[in-house]
Amino acid sequence: MRNLLPADTILQFQKLFAIGFKERTDKHDAIALAASYTGLEIDWLEGVRAADIPPKAYPAVWTEEKHRDKPAELGSWRAHMNALRHIVENKISSAVLMEDDSDWDVNIKTQMVEFARGTRALQGTKGIPFSPYGDGWDMLWLGHCGINSRGEPKFYVIPNDLTVTPRPHQNEFVRPPLAEDPNFESHRLIFNADNAICSWAMAFTYEGARKALTALSYVGIDEPVDLGYNFLCTNILHVPYQCLSSHPSIMGTWAQRGPASRDSDITDGDDTWHEASSRSLTYSTMLNILPLANNETTISATWDDVPVPKIDITTFEIPSGYLYTPDAA
């Protein structure tokens, strides 16, 4: 296979991890293939089943009755705590944690270069930082199904970004108010974040992982782990925490073709058959595995009604962004 992508295999983080059950070899295969074809190195961390957690190890405030309909939420929480502890114990400077059904744009490396410019600009980074994303963040919420901006209304705007999910296909639960402005419909927004949901993918610094482990395990929560992360970003867990994110989400989630019952290990589905699908991504890696396997450089969009249904990944570029403060515009 010809080398079409930059050499960076970890997106300027020390490690990339996917969390999943060892028996879900189908998902492990898909992650391995997607990583290979986009030039990434992703290690696997084992998922945890709620049945394997003794009650004495539950969070002290955990109420089983509240989570009776979704017992897998406890296992998901423990798997994330294990991953955070792995970062802390191994003194990993920064790491991405993603779900085993995560997906990303075929242009992820190019996207992350401009995303890093945005996070540095928002932090007012001067000189050469230790991390290309700046040195003042705890978490980068890279994959979500809804997120809002917080604090000072300052954004880094990437105009007319073709990787932005078209508005008819955006189905987030919440978005920044600026995203409702028709003038910003095709723009990617990067901002200080809170009020997020879904833990498809997030990056942590060592200190961010340590503070998250403190708040979500040592102190404990009685919520699904993504809401726990949200409480951190909202700064209601009494631990100062700096989260940055983008709208739309940088990373997404996907489902392989087959019965819906295969899709998730947290929620149940029926045996209704569906074709492969991807959420929140315009040029999905998972939906373009076959073209990539055939050394094709022309990649198809997830939907036919996008501005550019096909792109050449050898020439594709992300526009340069700029800082924008709505009140000062």
Closest by Cα among 107, 113, 208, 192 to 152: 192
pLDDT, mean of residues 262-290: 77
The mean pLDDT value of the chain amounts to 92
Q: In angstroms, what CA-CA distances link 301 with 2, 172, 199, 222, 310?
A: 22, 19, 24, 39, 6
Asked if pLDDT for residue 1 goes beyond 50, the answer is no
**Residue 4's pLDDT is what?**
41
For residue 2, is pLDDT > 60?
no
Are 276 and 125 contacting, i.e. CB atoms less than 8 angstroms apart? no
d(CA 68, CA 172) in angstroms, rounded, equals 26
One DSSP character per residue, 165-181 reads PPGGG---S---GGGGS
pLDDT at 37: 97
Residues 49-96 pLDDT 10s: 999 999 999 999 999 888 877 889 999 999 999 999 999 999 999 999
Q: Which fold would CATH assign to domain 15-253+318-328? A: Spore Coat Polysaccharide Biosynthesis Protein SpsA; Chain A (3.90.550)
The burial of 315, by beta-carbon neighbours within 10 Å (0-12 exposed, 13-18 middle, 19 or more buried), is given as: exposed
Using pLDDT thresholds of 50, 70 and 90, give the confidence band for residue 6.
very low
Measured CA distances, 163 to 59, 85, 280 (Å): 40, 34, 10
pLDDT band at 233 (very low <50, low <70, confident <90, very high): very high
Q: CA angle, 125 as apex, 127 and 110 as ends, to 5°? A: 95
Location of structure tokens 């995560």: 102
Query: For residues 170 and 280, what is the distance between their CA atoms, to the nearest angstrom?
Result: 7
Mean pLDDT for the stretch of residues 288-302: 97
Q: CA 294 to CA 140: how far, in whole Å? A: 33
State pLDDT tens for residues 131-185.
999 999 999 999 999 999 987 789 999 999 999 999 999 988 899 999 999 999 9
Q: d(Cα 133, Cα 72) in Å, to the nearest integer?
A: 33
Asked if residues 260 and 221 have their Cβ atoms less than 8 Å apart, the reply is no
Place 271 in a pLDDT band, splitting at 50, 70 and 90.
Answer: confident
How far apart, in whole angstroms, are the C-alpha atoms of residue 262 and residue 269? 7
Q: How far apart are CA 267 and CA 218, in angstroms?
A: 26
Q: Which tokens in the block code for residue 244?
A: 């940055």
Domains of the chain, by residue range, sit at 15-253+318-328
DSSP track, 7-55: S-SSTTSSEEEEEE-TT-HHHHHHHHHHHHHTT---EEEE---GGGS-G
Rounded Cα distance between 2 and 168, Å, is 35
Q: Could you identify the residue written with the tokens 């096909």?
A: 310
Distance CA 206, CA 316 (A): 33
CA–CA separation, 236 and 227 (whole Å): 11
Separation in Å, CA 242 to CA 15, 60, 179, 202, 252 = 20, 26, 21, 13, 22
The pTM of the whole model exceeds 0.75? yes
